Amino acid sequence: MDTRIAGPLLELNKAVPSFEESGLPPVPFSMKLMPGDCMVVEARSTSRATMFADLCCGLVPLDDGAVRFMGLDWADLHDRELNALRGRIGRMTRRASWPEFLNTHLAITLQQLHHTSRPLDDIVAEAARLGELFGLPGLPVLRPSMLSDVDLLRAGCVRAFLGRPRLLLLEDPLEGSPVDLQNPFLSAITDARDRGAGVIWLVRNNAIWQGYRQGITSIWRLADDGLVEIRTA
């Protein structure tokens, strides 16, 4: 599987999502995300935002058009390649994502343990460092149901940023979050972008991203008429 290093990191080329599978409007979606870009997408509906993130991950079947990540069309890839490529995406989602049969530390590190051969100690050390950055006392080892919502949010941040992902799909982690999470979160986004990662930040509320206004490269709105660009930096 040869991924492209130059060019857009993520490209939606007149991609028409299947309405039956996703509930997204069946209109062409077009946009490009370059490495280091940070794109804000305003979406009033959280379920629609999740589906848009799924579309970027190649999880939503298309009626027409293409979605390319790192130069590869999701539709052209086999299962193993699809999964390997998705292993390079860090994601925070509003959908339930903490399986109860795994303790939180395993759920956080699962993606790295599965997709890489990095030594366990390295992964744990990085996860613990990120945990401290996001305000956790360390790496939580309890079952996810034993953690508070805020701690799960922090753990979700750790999971998304762990392993230097190439693309970050972040479904509004700052909404309803404690104030002390904002600075580490923005700092982690900046670090990831400096390393060449692209960021798609899905928000419901305009006020959320104002603190990072200077860093935003483009603002889009996800509505009934599809994905509409509002402003480009």
Partner 1 sequence: MSGSSEPRNPGEERDPILEADAASHSQNRPKLTLRDWAREKLAWLGRLTRRQIRFFLIMLGASWGVIFESFRAHSWRRTVRFEFASTMRSVIGGGLIATLFAGTLTGVAAVSQTIYWLGLAGMAKMTGTILIDVVIREIAPILVGILLLGRNGMLSVTELGLLTTGGEIRSMQAQGLDPFLLLVMPRTLAFTVGGFTLGILFSFAALVTGYVISRISGVVTNPVWTFLYDVITAMSRADYLVIPLKFVTVGFVVGLGGCLTGLTATNEDNLRTLLPRGFSRGMLIVMAVSVLFSLDL
Given the rule CB under 8 A, which residues bind partner 1? 53-54, 57, 59, 79, 82-89, 91, 93, 95-101, 106, 110-111, 113-115, 120
Nearer to partner 1, 77 or 186 (CB): 77
What value, to the nearest 5°, has the Cα angle with vertex 61 and ends 60 and 63? 130
What is the closest distance, in whole angstroms, from the C-beta atom of residue 103 to partner 1 in the complex?
11
What is the closest distance, in whole angstroms, from the C-beta atom of residue 183 to partner 1 in the complex?
26
Nearer to partner 1, 102 or 223 (CB): 102
Nearer to partner 1, 15 or 219 (CB): 15
Cα 219 to Cα 38: distance, rounded to the nearest angstrom: 9
What is the closest distance, in whole angstroms, from the C-beta atom of residue 217 to partner 1 in the complex?
24
What is the closest distance, in whole angstroms, from the C-beta atom of residue 149 to partner 1 in the complex?
16
Nearer to partner 1, 159 or 219 (CB): 159
Nearer to partner 1, 22 or 218 (CB): 22
What is the closest distance, in whole angstroms, from the C-beta atom of residue 99 to partner 1 in the complex?
5
